């Protein structure tokens, strides 16, 4: 098992709420990623970071933000949750020069 942790594991919230999904890794990896996985299984890249104070947008980033103040921590924030945000959110990391990704167990978000 990889040392990458996501909290909460499950979250049910109402429309319009602001939420932050947490992701932390203890492997010292510089590169971190957020993917959204829809019920049909396809993974969409939301945001990624190649180090502290570096963040980039992916294909599906317009309704969320991220920050990378510490190497080990890469939280994802939805400013105003909507039912269309209901999905599984997966955080992943890899070292600089590394090829394979290590994934957390995911956060299953339901927005009512």
* Interaction site with other proteins (CB under 8 A): 4, 6, 33, 35, 40-43, 45, 48, 50, 58, 88, 90, 92, 97, 99-106, 108
Nearer to other proteins, 72 or 107 (CB): 107
Give me the phi and psi of 29, to 5 degrees please: -70, 135
Q: How far is the CB of 87 from other proteins (least distance, A)?
A: 13
Structure tokens at 71: 């190497």
The least CB distance from residue 16 to other proteins, in Å, is 27
Distance separating alpha carbons of residues 23 and 6, to the nearest angstrom: 5
CA nearest to 110, candidates 10, 6, 21: 10
Q: Considering beta carbons, is residue 6 or 64 the nearer one to other proteins?
A: 6
Shortest spacing between CB 83 and other proteins, in angstroms: 20
Report cis status (omega within 30 of 0) of the bond before 8.
Answer: yes
For the chain, the distance separating the N- and C-terminal CA atoms, rounded to the nearest angstrom, is: 32
Of 14 and 99, the one with the shorter C-beta distance to other proteins is 99
Q: φ, ψ for residue 84 (rounded to 5)?
A: -70, -10
Shorter beta-carbon distance to other proteins: residue 15 or 96? 96
């Amino acid at each position: 098992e990889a040392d990458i942790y996501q909290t909460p594991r499950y979250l049910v919230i109402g429309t319009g709420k602001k939420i932050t999904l947490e992701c932390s890794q203890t492997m010292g990896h510089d590169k971190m990623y957020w993917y959204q996985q829809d019920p049909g299984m396809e993974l969409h890249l939301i945001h990624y970071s190649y180090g502290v104070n570096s963040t980039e947008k992916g294909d599906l980033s317009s309704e969320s933000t991220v920050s990378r103040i510490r190497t080990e921590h890469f939280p994802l924030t939805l400013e105003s949750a909507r039912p269309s945000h209901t999905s599984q959110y997966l955080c992943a990391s890899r070292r600089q020069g590394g090829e394979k990704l290590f994934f957390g167990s995911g956060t299953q978000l339901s927005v009512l």
